[in-house]
Amino acid sequence: MGINEIPSSEKGNSPFLNTSALLKDLKALFKAGVLFANVLPVFTGFWLANYFTGNSFVDNLGLFLLTIIGSTLVMAGALILNNWYDVDIDTIMERTKNRPTVTGNIPLKIVLKMGIFFTIIGFMMLLFTTIEAAIYGFIGWFTYVFLYTMWSKRRYTFNTIIGSVSGAVTPLIGWAAIESSLHIVPIILFLILFIFQMPHTFAIAMRKCEEYKAAGVAMLPVVRGFKITKVQIIIYVACLLPFPFFLTSLGSMFIVIATILNVGWLAVSIAGFFSKNDLKWAYVIFLYSVNYIMVLFLLMVIVTII
């Protein structure tokens, strides 16, 4: 037997394997990819608020840590509670059947307590920044947990609109930690995120249409079909076109790159009506949307540095 070989009788009890399995379960419970995607706009909002008010990011490092950790915990709490509530439909859907709430690896009572605990600690940290930042955090949490997860997700196709609000408040949290968000920049960031989530979510719903149908979730492709969904995707992507021109304070390089990204996404969206494989096209839209929002919000930071 080699030095690194584990006897078959001991493999199931290996602490390394158990730790790996636990980390995998926690990653699924926290929806790590979704969580990171929502933390980035908080950072961008905070960074730009410092930039436009003439404050030093380094001088506000303590405030930044409170903002980023607090908002992350609030969002993690919301995502955990979503997993706790949706365990019945997650059992049916192929892409969610391995979540620890479904497998039973983490008991539902523990999941509920975790969701509440992270939410409370997160809000307490945000309250040490500004009341306005905490209010935006609450709006996002309440919208996602109650208005989206518990009320609209299974009943109405406009669930995507409601869910988009919760994701769109993230830059407002970051900005409001520095100063009031009654400023053109955070408002535009909110609108970009709100609109972006519509075609992004529609693309996911198209790819997983049969799963959503089996689970009884009223996503647009399930209720209205692919053709209507494609039209909606084009409309929402087209709505993104004017926004870079409201951010002229970020410079011409940002406007040019953001416009190219918008036009490219619109072209890919229109191509959906000529695609022979709707699911493959929906996957392209999904990939474009993920990279679009990451590049755009990182670009906003980069152009203030160079």
Which helix (H) or strand (E) segment holds residue 286: the answer is helix 278-302
Is residue 82 classed as helix, strand or coil in its secondary structure? Answer: helix
User: Does the pLDDT of residue 219 top 50, yes or no?
Assistant: yes
Alpha helices in 143-183 (DSSP H): 159-168, 170-176
260-268 long-range Cβ contacts below 8 angstroms, 24+ apart = 261/292, 261/295, 261/296, 262/237, 264/288, 265/199, 265/237, 265/240, 265/289, 265/292, 266/234, 266/237, 266/238, 266/241
More confident residue, 241 or 10: 241
User: Does the pLDDT of residue 43 top 70, yes or no?
Assistant: yes
With cut-offs at 50, 70 and 90, classify the pLDDT of residue 96. Answer: confident
Lowest mean pLDDT among 23-32, 44-53, 199-208, 214-223: 23-32
With cut-offs at 50, 70 and 90, classify the pLDDT of residue 8. Answer: very low
In this predicted structure, what is the pLDDT of residue 6?
37
Single out the residue of 199, 178, 238, 144 nearest to residue 43, CA to CA: 178
In this predicted structure, what is the pLDDT of residue 7?
40
Fold of 28-302: Farnesyl Diphosphate Synthase (1.10.600)
Cβ atoms of 153 and 164 closer than 8 Å: no
Percent of the chain residues past pLDDT 90, beyond the cut: 83
User: Does the pLDDT of residue 16 top 60, yes or no?
Assistant: no
pLDDT digits 0-9 by tens, 189-218: 999 999 999 999 999 999 999 999 999 999
With cut-offs at 50, 70 and 90, classify the pLDDT of residue 4. Answer: very low
pLDDT digits 0-9 by tens, 112-123: 999 999 999 999
User: Does the pLDDT of residue 67 top 80, yes or no?
Assistant: yes
pLDDT digits 0-9 by tens, 237-296: 999 999 999 999 999 999 999 999 999 999 999 999 999 999 999 999 999 999 999 999
User: Does the pLDDT of residue 5 top 80, yes or no?
Assistant: no
Phi, psi of 16 (to 5 degrees): -65, -45
Mean pLDDT, the chain, integer:
92
Single out the residue of 179, 142, 133 nearest to residue 162, CA to CA: 142
C-alpha span between 254 and 247 (Å, rounded): 8
User: What residues does each domain of the chain span?
Assistant: 28-302
Single out the residue of 80, 164, 81, 69 nearest to residue 123, CA to CA: 69
Q: Which residue, chain included where needed, has tokens 């959906």?
A: 272
Is residue 295 classed as helix, strand or coil in its secondary structure? Answer: helix
End-to-end CA distance of the chain: 57
CB within 8 Å of 203: residues ≥ 6 apart: 233, 282, 283, 285, 286, 289
With cut-offs at 50, 70 and 90, classify the pLDDT of residue 133. Answer: very high
CA distances from 268 to 230, 274, 275, 294 (A): 11, 10, 10, 18
In this predicted structure, what is the pLDDT of residue 179?
95
With cut-offs at 50, 70 and 90, classify the pLDDT of residue 27. Answer: confident
In this predicted structure, what is the pLDDT of residue 9?
39
CA distances from 83 to 1, 76, 143, 222 (A): 43, 11, 15, 22
Lowest mean pLDDT among 30-39, 145-154, 207-216, 238-247: 30-39
In this predicted structure, what is the pLDDT of residue 78?
96
In this predicted structure, what is the pLDDT of residue 150?
95
C-alpha span between 304 and 45 (Å, rounded): 13
C-alpha span between 251 and 283 (Å, rounded): 32
With cut-offs at 50, 70 and 90, classify the pLDDT of residue 15. Answer: very low
